[in-house]
Structure 1
Amino acid sequence: MSKIALVTAIAATGTDTDMVPLIEACARAGLAAEVRAWDDPSVAWTRYDAALLRSPWDYTERLPEFLAWCERVAAQSRLLNPLPVVRWNTDKHYLAALAERGVAVVPSAFVEPEAEPLPALQAFLSMHADAAEFVVKPTVSAGSRDTQRYARAQEFAAANHIARLLDAGRSVLLQPYLASVDRDGETALLYFDGVYSHAIRKGALLRPDTGATEALFAPEQIVAREPGEDERALAQAVLAAAHDALQLDAPLPYARVDLIRDGDGRPQLLELELCEPSLFFPYAQGSADRFVASLQARLSAH
């Protein structure tokens, strides 16, 4: 019997709503699964055939330490998703790599630590003169941590936010805030072993004149959703571009493609989640069992 570690973090204990349905699906399939924290030094990772990243959600504050742990575990067990994918996907500069491959990405500008905050922001705003609002976020972030929505009139407050991130040595991502999010939310499409499984709708997370969340992740309003054909087509294009960028020779065990619509109603990529995304098992009957079946097939093939 294969034995798999479901990887969380000490700080995230009890917060992963996917964990119970995943454990139950593993039990139904006869797959031995144990929940283990990545930052628990007592865990012997060689005891597991695979280490499945599920909710190591504090990695954004400890990225070098987390990636060093991933490297150690990849040498002792089978890290899912694989180490090169995790390294690439934990920094939102990957959006530029996908845009270069023709993917419809939400317009993105990057500000690096050596830049001057206010001139960089003003250059971005001049390029997006029609954007009434915009978003400031670190390139290494998850769950809307350190992410905030601003109106154009809040230029100086936003520049101060950028400065704080840059002073901490963190690169910054600037994007126009697409107003359709307040109406339509985000669509997240889930793929297991390259095959579409299900989708959900997330309500708007960023509210005007509210600070960034101090928790591991911002509270979310989630319902099941049937994606449009245009969303399905874009999600497939995103996965194909990621496979090209990463030079992969097989589908990934899991992927989540987060899309929003622009002012003309066309879907655009907000984020591609390949490291530790919520998979929203409670919103799609049978989804946890589909995922476990794909994991078993992968483990038995090696």
Structure 2
Amino acid sequence: MNVRVDVSTASAVQRPLIACHDLGHVYDSGRGRTVALDQVSLTIQPGEFVCVLGPSGCGKTTLLNILAGFVQPSHGEVLINDHAIAGPSPERGVVFQDYSLFPWLTAKANVGFGLRMAGRAAAEREAVASDLLRQVGLPEAGDKYPFELSGGMKQRVAIARALATRPALLLMDEPFAALDAMTRASLQTRLIDLQQQSAQTILFVTHNIAEALVLGTRLIVMSPNPGRVIEDIAVDLERPRRRTSPAFNELYDHVARAIGLDTAE
């Protein structure tokens, strides 16, 4: 098990998919100014599975929203393939904690919605949606509506929908937080399989250390008030990762200390 604070030289030579330079963001309200992010600089290479980890108030979701194009930073620069992010785009798929499925559409129609908005033919939408539902383990659920699906099934549909437009970057904002432990573990395994098969680049926001260590090839650890990157850690653990292994627990303790925790979650 190795820990590093900086991206490796070999990785740095590659052109990054995402580059953030000195990002900062301030929220103004009737109660004053809140500095959500301050001097955040990082790069994400194609094919990385990056988990952003930290306590509440560290700016994790603000960073994700900036990368998604939902929020413009107060200062700094964020680029995707050397081009400035000016707003939302199909090249950045987003999966939220609350599923955000359209209740009046079937699972298959939800998955194909982005393709429909892009003007793709019905036959193509049908084929892509069916294939992605198969990949997420829901081959028989295409004609079901969200109210007919469990929470875990809804989240799998949401993941399939985000992947339908073949985004360069998949952004996930605590997507498994509301699920029970068994469903959460099952979806973690399925997401790892999907990422390894497709080399999909993923940025995954979580406050759960064990989840970050199970999923990520790299951890960005942030501190709160204001949100800053305090560590950039390579997770050099073989898959499948055993939560009871000495290497896993050593890295868990290292991350816990970095964010100010002395005990297990």
Normalising to structure 2: TM-score of the pair? 0.29
Bigger relative contact order, structure 1 or 2, given CA contacts below 8 A and separation 6+? Answer: 2
Normalising to structure 1: TM-score of the pair? 0.27
